[in-house]
Chain A
Amino acid sequence: MSTTVTRPDESEVTAPAKSGRTSAGIRRALPAAGILVAIALIWEAVSHWFGVPNYVLPSLDSIWSTGVAEWRGTLASATLVTTEEVLLGFLLSIVIALVIAFALHSSRVVRNAVYPLLIGSQAVPVVVVAPVLAIIFGYTITPKLIVVTLICFFPIVVNTIDGLASVDPELLRVMRTLDGDRWATLRRVEAPAALPSIFSGLRIAATYAPIGAVFGEYAGSQNGLGYVMIQAIPQLETALVFAAIFILTAEAILLFIAVSVLERIICPWAREGKR
């Protein structure tokens, strides 16, 4: 608490504040770790002592050993393929979403014309569209990127538009008296002001991207974690399915963390007053 009071003074504040932040980070991670351990214990107990067959609910240790055994043969290359789809699709959706959002922001006519279409696009059942895309583009990476983008771009667009429009109207007037034209205002005021909400959109999209990649692979593929699952389920290799799911989960969490870290680097000012 004392740090906030003395903050304007000098740089001596930064050192204790930083170490305080790390320990606070550990303290914040503790509950999450506790819940994970609890779930793992219950999982193990159920699968070992209640006679649940391994193909229904494999025990964690069998999932682990399957994962290790299958890593070299299938999982490693599948993870690589899916990760590529996730990352490329995520980047593609960021680019497309930002272009759309800035276009919608700068013209009311465009916004009125295109916004309903964008909302409508979210009602399109991706599960049904994915096979059609697979027919059109074959077993290439293209249909997967399209599916990931379809799922990911919308939250980014909505959050970016909201962020761009969130600037105080009086500040926009000040910019006009400071010789700021439309472009200067967009670049120096609206875009930076929108960054925090852009990152909110990115965090949501980051958790959707792996799902999109798996949808795409389900519709037609020769490799990838989704492909591994399609192969494993009919053979009742449930442990392998779970291993693939855990890898996907880890991927989503890592992507989410990466976005959060990037946000902290790019717009540190946004953290003030949040806490």
Chain B
Amino acid sequence: MAGTSGTPAAKGVPPQADAHTGAPGPGAPLGPGVGGPGAGETGAAGNGSGAAPVASGTGLRLSGVARVFGQVVAVSGVDLEVPLHSRMSIVGPSGCGKSTLLALICGLDEPNEGTIDVLGATTSAERLRRCAWMPQRDLLLPWRDVLGNAALALENQGVRRRTARQRVGHLVERFGLAGFEEKLPHQLSGGMRQRVSFLRTLVAGKEVLLLDEPFGALDSITRADLQGWLRTALDAEPRTTVLVTHDVEEALLIGERVVVMSARPGRIRAQFDVHLPHAGSRRELIRHPEFAELRDEILSLLEAVT
């Protein structure tokens, strides 16, 4: 396992240079190239510059957000700000409304109170256009092969089937899926399925990534592997990312800021900025003194809120 997915991490680094050189053709990386219609407006994921209508450096802003289901207050008084192209992790005990928060951000749900601003979009329909959401289960379509599953968003955006498959085909190698293009989901391992699901999410060409415990269903070896891989992939091509998890190490590895939530009602208890060397391997990072310190602090805080 470690062998197969070590490769994409190493090769996954080809960075923005690609995006600059080419027209947003099939060769361009995850960003605008694969985005299809709509990618142009949400803008230059890989370039950092460009015609995007994002004046400020704010990716996401939540102010005073509350969501109530019947009698249950799922989240309340949530104020959050995620700068453009930065990554935030949310940790908290189960039932603290982390997933509710993601559904609210990406426009699958509306808050009862407060406002949510995603790159200037405040209505749920517009937020849906700007956000990609990846749940814990891979939810691949069993009748579509790897390329077909990954190309789903492009087909939904009106790209012809063959063209969509071709465009996705150029990305497969970086996701450690080379040679598996025409395999059906049941022929893949859990880690590979999750990577296909992640590829499908990225191909939608959205500026904002919302990851809901993306590795929660995997064994610990595969999970560690994919955490390192995701970190590298997002370093190479920054997106505004919110990761929900109950794994503190995962939160610290992926997030540049970690938010701790308490349960019932879900509220924000604390926020930590994570300053870790960018290039270190997962093992080096975990041994880093600051990492250990933050982990202990967050864990004790989590014990206090549960």
Please give the distance in Å from B38's CB to the nearest CB on chain A. 7
- B204: which A residues are within 8 A, CB to CB? 177-179
Q: Which of A28-36, A199-207, A267-275 lies at the interface with chain B? A: A267-275
Q: Are B108 and A176 in contact (CB under 8 A)?
A: yes
Complex formed: what's the CA distance from A171 to B137 in Å? 9
Complex formed: what's the CA distance from A270 to B106 in Å? 32
Query: Please, how many residues of chain B have a CB less than 8 angstroms from a CB on the other chain?
Result: 31
Q: Are A177 and B128 in contact (CB under 8 A)?
A: yes
- A170: which B residues are within 8 A, CB to CB? 135, 137, 139
Chain B residue with Cβ nearest A173 = B108
Query: Please, how many residues of chain A have a CB less than 8 angstroms from a CB on the other chain?
Result: 25
Complex formed: what's the CA distance from A173 to B152 in Å? 14
Q: Are B108 and A269 in contact (CB under 8 A)?
A: no
Chain A residue with Cβ nearest B205 = A179
Which of A181, A188, A270, A272 is B152 in contact with, Cβ under 8 Å? A188
Which of B133, B141, B183, B189 is A192 in contact with, Cβ under 8 Å? B141
Render B184-207 as a binary contact track against A, CB cut-off 8 A, 1 for contact: 101111001000000011001010
Provide a sorted-by-A list of 25 A–B residue pairs whose CB atoms are within 8 angstroms.
A8-B183, A8-B188, A8-B192, A170-B137, A170-B139, A171-B139, A174-B139, A175-B152, A175-B156, A177-B106, A177-B128, A177-B204, A178-B132, A178-B201, A179-B153, A179-B156, A180-B153, A181-B156, A184-B156, A188-B155, A267-B143, A269-B142, A269-B184, A272-B142, A272-B186
Asked whether B129 is an interface residue with its Cβ less than 8 Å from the other chain, the reply is yes
- B200: which A residues are within 8 A, CB to CB? 178
Asked whether A264 is an interface residue with its Cβ less than 8 Å from the other chain, the reply is no
- B131: which A residues are within 8 A, CB to CB? 177
Asked whether B63 is an interface residue with its Cβ less than 8 Å from the other chain, the reply is no
Chain B residue with Cβ nearest A185 = B156
Q: Are B187 and A7 in contact (CB under 8 A)?
A: yes
Asked whether B306 is an interface residue with its Cβ less than 8 Å from the other chain, the reply is no
- A269: which B residues are within 8 A, CB to CB? 142-143, 184, 186
- B156: which A residues are within 8 A, CB to CB? 175, 178-181, 184, 188
Chain A residue with Cβ nearest B136 = A170
Asked whether A168 is an interface residue with its Cβ less than 8 Å from the other chain, the reply is yes
Asked whether B157 is an interface residue with its Cβ less than 8 Å from the other chain, the reply is yes
Q: Are A188 and B142 in contact (CB under 8 A)?
A: no
Chain A residue with Cβ nearest B186 = A272
